[in-house]
Amino acid sequence: MATGIEVTEEPIAGLVDYASIPIAFRVERIFDVQLISAGIGGVLLHERDVGQPYIKDYDAMEGNSPSSWPTRWDLSSWAMLAAHSGRTRTGGAEVALDTVGVDMLEGRKDLAVLWDIRVHPEYRRKGVGRALFAAVEALARSRGCREFKVETQSTNVGACRFYARQGCSLAALNRFAYQDCPEETQLIWRKDL
């Protein structure tokens, strides 16, 4: 765990504090998905500059902010982790467990989904994400999970590289997952516990 970073589980009722950590990030590079032989030969992820960098903020999209989650799902089996450096909240992670309507859980009780992970911009690249990820793994194991999954997008190259460094492998991609963002490809990562 990162030096000086403490990760604790908090009640799900603390979503307002959780949401105070910005999730926005700067997009400078993306992964393009290239089909080989119309997809029969596989796919190739090609990293490229976007040209004009921009800010992506998923919380700003309708129905995506943490405050909307309780209206969409029963969060009673979810876990919320908070990272602190001293008294300062530096990040957090939400873990979905055994929840009807969360398709990524596949109806399994031994699978967890890292639903959301966020680190305050001032604390990024300082070990907070690693500390949260390790805590998510420990929490999922303690709840009897044998693996977990996490979703990201082709526009979040930094997250993709982070998940790969944490031992996740790319399990699936869906070029048509996001009707509101057709330029983005959904990338599903998984890790055995």
The whole-number pLDDT of residue 1 equals 45
Q: Is residue 15 part of a domain?
A: yes
For residues 44-48, average pLDDT: 90
Q: Is residue 51 part of a domain?
A: yes
Write the DSSP assignment of 152-188 as a string of letters: EETT-HHHHHHHHHTT-EEEEEETTS-SS-TT--EEE
pLDDT (mean) for 166-193: 93
In a domain, 53, yes or no: yes
Q: Could you tell me what percent of the chain has a pLDDT over 70?
A: 98
Q: Judge whether 40 lies within some domain.
A: yes
How many angstroms separate the CA atoms of 161 and 158, rounded? 5
Mean pLDDT along residues 147-172: 96
Phi-psi region of 38 (alpha: psi -120 to 50; beta: other; left: phi over 0): left
Length of the chain: 193
In sequence order, the 6+-apart residues with CB closer than 8 A to the CB of 151 are 104, 113, 186, 187, 188, 189
The pLDDT of residue 2: 53
Alpha-carbon span 193 to 47, nearest angstrom: 29
What domain range includes position 71?
6-192
Is there a domain that residue 1 lies in? no
This prediction's pTM: 0.92
- SS3 call for 108: coil
Q: How many domains does the chain have?
A: 1
Q: Is residue 164 domain-resident?
A: yes
CATH number of the domain that residue 33 is part of: 3.40.630.30
Q: Would residue 134 count as lying in a domain?
A: yes
Residue 83 has pLDDT above 60, yes or no: yes
Per-chain mean pLDDT for the chain:
93
Q: How far is CA 111 from CA 22, 93, 130, in A?
A: 27, 16, 20
The answer for 179, left when phi > 0, alpha when psi is -120 to 50, beta otherwise, is: alpha
Q: Could you give the count of Cα atoms lying within 13 Å of 39 in the half-sphere of its Cβ?
A: 4
- Whether 35 is in a domain gets the answer yes
